[in-house]
C-alpha cells in the first residue's frame, strides 16, 4: 500500500467556486437534440416535445449552463431556419456531421427547454460562413425586448419575453481546417473583434468568448491565442479551450494522468493571455472558457466515417466505464483548482453524444458512469476553492513522465462550515493510505463520503443494467484533527466534512 497526505486550511483560498464550471453542451449532432432532449411522442414527453426523463437527469446532474447550438454545427448554421411554424422550416444538409437537419428545434425551443431545466444559455454565433450582420440579427431576435422587426418576429413566434442570453461565443474552432469557414488567426481575430464591438453596441454588458485553439496539439497553438488576443483583448472577456482525452495504444497509465495535460493547457493559455495584456499595458485579466472537455474515443469515430445522409444518426455514442469516470472526476479537480482563471467550463455533450446521459428512442434514459463524479462535484462544491498541499508517491507514464499518484482539491463554505475534499488515486494496482490534516477547521465529522471504483475497471452502465456502476459509500475516519481513508486503485472519492453539533 502506498502512503499520501494532504494539508488544507480555510486560509488557503484560490477563488470562489464558480458555478459556471458545471456547464454542459448541446449541439445539433447525432442524437443529442433529436431523441435526446427532444422526442415528441415519447412516454415522458411534455407539451413541447421535451423528454421529461432527460430533463430530470439534467437537473440531477447539476448542470448550471449549456452551450448551444455548436460546436462544428454552428459554423454552417442559419439560425433563421429554426424559427416560426415547424411545418414551414427548411430541411438542410448538415455538413459538419454529414447528416440531415430538420430544424424542428431552434433558438426558441432551446430557450424554452433551458428554462425548464433551470440552466443558463451560452449561445454560439456562426462566424464560419457568416459574420457581424448574422450575429446582430440573432441577438436582436433573442434579446431585444420589443418594437423592432426581429424582436416582434420572436413575439409573433410565441416568445413574448426576450431570452436574455448574456454569454456569447464568437464562433467555434475557427483554427481547425475541418471547420466551415476556417480562418487564420489574423482573419478570425479581426472578425471576432468587429463582431464583439457590434454586439456591445447593441448590449454593452454581454460576456463574449473568443475562440482559442481547438486543442493544445494544434500546430498553431500559442501563436493563435497571442494573435487573436492582440486583436480582441479590449472587446472580449474570455478565450476558449477545448480538450478531449482517450486511451491511446493501450496506455492506461497516461490516460489516468489526463488532468496533468489539462493543468498544463490551462497554465499555458493563462501565461499567453497575461503576456498579451502586459504588451498592451492593460490591467484587465482575460479569463478562460473551457467550453469543450470530456473523454472521447476519437479514434473510433475517425475510423468509421459517415457516408449516408441521415436525420439524427448514432454518432460517437461512447459507452463509458469506471476508468473513464475516474478521469472525468480528475478533470473536474483540475478545473476547480484553476477557478481563479477558468470562469466557464462545458462538458461535451449532455445526452447520447459522448455524454453522461444516454437515452433510447421511445425507451429509457440512464446515467453513464461519468454522470456520477460530475453530479457529486456539482452538488458538493460550494463556497471557496482551497489550495491543497499534496505529498504523494509518483508513477511513470509514457506521455507525462513521473506524475503524482494522488491528485486533490478542496472546497470550504464559510456559511455552512462544510468542507469537501475531492481526491483521485491514479494507480492501477496499489491502494493509497491517505491522511488529511484538518486541525485548521476545528472539530469536524464526516457527513458523507463517496467513491467511484470497481474491481472491473471496464464495467459500464447499460440500458439493461443502468446502475451497474454507482458511487459507493466510503469508510472514512476523522480523529484528532486528521482524516484517514484508504483509496482503492483507480478511484475518485469525495468526502464532505461538517462541524460536530
Specify whether 109 is catalytic.
Answer: no
pLDDT at 103 over 80: yes
State pLDDT tens for residues 401-415. 999 999 999 999 999
Say if residue 361's pLDDT is above 70.
yes
Residue 303 has pLDDT above 70, yes or no: no
User: Which three three-digit cell numbers place residue 34?
Assistant: 433529436
Name which of 489, 463, 456 is nearest 319 in CA terms. Answer: 463
pLDDT exceeds cutoff 70 at 48: yes
User: Residue 306 — very low, low, confident or very high, per pLDDT cuts 50/70/90?
Assistant: confident
Reported as a single tens digit per residue, the pLDDT across 168-179 is: 999 999 999 999
Please report, for residues 4, 316, 411, 491, the alpha-carbon distance to residue 435 in angstroms, rounded to integers and kept in the order given.
Answer: 6, 40, 17, 16
> What digits encode the pLDDT tens for the residues 443-454?
999 999 999 999
Give pLDDT, residue 480: 86
pTM of this structure: 0.97
- How high is the mean pLDDT of the chain? 97
**Whole-number Å distance between alpha carbons of 207 and 374:** 25
How much is the pLDDT for 301? 75
> CA–CA separation, 245 vs 326, rounded Å?
12
8 A C-beta contact, residue 385 and residue 14: yes
Q: Is 317 a catalytic residue?
A: no
Task: Identify whether the C-beta of residue 30 lies closer than 8 Å to the C-beta of residue 317.
Answer: yes
Instruction: Using the predicted structure, report yes or no on whether residue 300 has a pLDDT greater than 80.
Output: no
Is residue 431 a contact partner of residue 475, using CB atoms and an 8 Å limit?
no
CA distance 265 to 245: 13
Tens of pLDDT, residue by residue over 236-260, are 999 999 999 999 999 999 999 999 9
For residue 419, what are the β-bridge partners? 412, 497
Torsion of CA 336, 209, 35, 117, to 10 degrees: 60
Catalytic choice (39, 140, 225, 292) = 292
- Among the listed residues 64, 173, 207, 225, the single catalytic one is 173
- Coil, helix or strand at residue 6: strand
More confident call, 481 vs 343: 343
Question: What is the distance between the alpha carbons of residues 166 and 200, in angstroms, rounded to a whole number?
Answer: 11
Query: Quick one: pLDDT at residue 299?
Result: 77
E-state strands within 369-417: 384-386, 389-391, 394-397, 401-404, 406-412
Predicted pLDDT of residue 305: 74
| pLDDT above 90 (res 29) | yes
pLDDT tens sequence across 365-417? 999 999 999 999 999 999 999 999 999 999 999 999 999 999 999 999 999 99
User: Does 467 have pLDDT greater than 80?
Assistant: yes
With 80 as the cut, is the pLDDT of residue 85 above it?
yes
Q: Give strand pairing partners of 238.
A: 209, 287
Please answer whether residues 410 and 421 qualify as being in contact, where contact means their C-beta atoms are separated by less than 8 angstroms: yes
Q: Are 439 and 424 contacting, i.e. CB atoms less than 8 angstroms apart?
A: no
In angstroms, the CA 51 to CA 40 distance is: 8
Give me the half-sphere count of Cα atoms (radius 13 Å) on the Cβ side of residue 432.
28
- Read off the pLDDT of each residue in 185-191 and give the average, rounded to a whole number: 98
Do the Cβ atoms of 377 and 385 come closer than 8 Å? no
pLDDT digits (tens, 9 = 90+) for 216-235: 999 999 999 999 999 999 99
In angstroms, the CA 73 to CA 179 distance is 9
pLDDT at 304 over 90: no
Mean pLDDT of the region 155-161: 98
Amino acid at each position: 500500500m502506498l502512503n499520501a497526505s494532504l494539508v488544507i486550511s480555510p486560509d488557503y483560498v484560490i477563488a470562489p467556486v464558480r458555478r459556471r464550471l458545471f456547464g454542459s453542451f448541446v449541439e445539433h449532432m447525432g442524437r443529442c437534440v433529436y431523441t435526446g432532449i427532444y422526442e415528441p411522442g415519447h412516454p415522458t414527453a411534455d407539451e413541447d416535445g421535451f423528454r421529461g426523463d432527460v430533463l430530470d437527469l439534467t437537473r440531477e446532474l447539476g448542470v448550471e449552463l449549456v452551450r448551444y447550438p455548436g460546436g462544428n454545427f454552428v459554423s454552417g448554421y442559419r439560425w433563421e431556419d429554426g424559427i416560426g411554424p415547424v411545418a414551414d422550416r427548411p430541411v438542410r444538409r448538415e455538413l459538419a456531421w454529414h447528416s440531415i437537419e430538420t430544424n424542428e428545434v431552434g433558438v426558441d425551443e432551446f430557450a424554452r427547454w433551458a428554462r425548464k431545466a433551470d440552466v443558463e444559455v451560452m449561445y454560439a454565433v456562426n462566424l464560419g460562413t457568416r459574420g457581424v450582420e448574422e450575429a446582430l440579427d440573432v441577438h436582436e431576435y433573442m434579446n431585444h425586448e420589443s418594437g423592432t422587426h426581429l424582436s416582434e418576429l420572436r413575439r409573433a413566434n410565441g416568445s413574448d419575453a426576450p431570452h436574455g442570453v448574456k454569454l456569447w461565443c464568437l464562433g467555434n474552432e475557427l483554427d481547425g481546417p475541418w471547420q466551415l469557414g476556417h480562418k487564420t488567426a489574423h482573419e478570425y481575430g479581426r472578425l471576432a473583434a468587429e463582431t464583439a464591438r457590434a454586439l456591445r453596441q447593441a448590449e454593452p454588458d454581454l460576456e463574449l468568448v473568443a475562440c482559442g485553439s481547438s486543442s493544445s496539439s494544434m500546430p498553431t497553438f500559442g501563436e493563435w491565442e497571442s494573435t487573436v488576443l492582440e486583436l480582441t483583448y479590449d472587446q472580449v472577456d474570455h478565450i476558449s479551450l477545448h480538450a478531449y482525452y482517450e486511451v491511446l495504444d493501450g496506455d492506461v497509465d497516461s490516460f489516468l494522468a489526463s488532468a496533468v495535460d489539462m493543468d498544463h493547457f490551462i497554465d499555458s493559455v493563462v501565461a499567453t493571455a497575461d503576456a498579451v495584456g502586459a504588451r498592451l499595458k492593460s490591467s484587465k485579466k482575460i479569463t478562460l472558457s473551457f467550453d469543450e472537455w470530456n473523454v472521447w474515443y476519437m479514434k473510433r469515430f475517425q475510423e468509421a466515417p459517415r457516408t449516408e445522409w441521415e436525420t439524427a444518426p448514432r454518432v460517437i455514442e461512447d459507452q463509458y466505464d469506471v476508468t473513464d469516470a475516474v478521469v472525468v472526476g480528475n478533470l473536474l479537480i483540475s478545473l476547480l483548482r484553476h477557478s481563479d482563471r477558468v470562469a466557464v467550463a462545458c462538458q461535451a455533450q449532455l445526452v447520447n453524444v459522448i455524454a453522461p446521459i444516454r437515452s433510447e428512442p421511445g425507451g429509457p434514459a440512464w446515467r453513464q458512469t461519468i454522470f456520477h463524479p460530475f453530479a457529486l462535484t456539482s452538488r458538493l462544491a460550494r463556497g471557496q476553492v482551497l489550495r491543497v498541499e499534496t505529498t504523494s508517491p509518483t508513477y511513470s507514464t509514457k506521455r507525462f513522465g513521473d506524475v503524482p499518484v494522488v491528485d486533490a482539491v478542496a472546497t470550504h463554505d464559510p456559511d455552512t462550515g462544510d468542507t469537501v475534499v475531492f481526491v483521485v488515486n491514479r494507480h492501477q494496482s496499489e491502494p493509497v493510505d491517505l491522511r488529511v490534516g484538518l486541525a485548521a477547521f476545528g472539530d469536524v465529522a464526516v457527513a458523507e463520503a463517496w467513491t467511484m471504483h470497481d474491481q472491473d475497471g471496464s464495467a459500464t452502465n447499460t440500458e439493461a443494467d443502468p446502475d451497474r456502476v454507482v458511487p459507493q459509500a466510503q469508510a472514512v475516519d476523522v480523529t484528532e484533527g486528521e482524516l484517514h481513508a484508504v483509496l482503492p486503485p483507480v478511484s475518485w472519492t469525495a468526502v464532505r466534512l461538517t462541524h460536530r453539533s
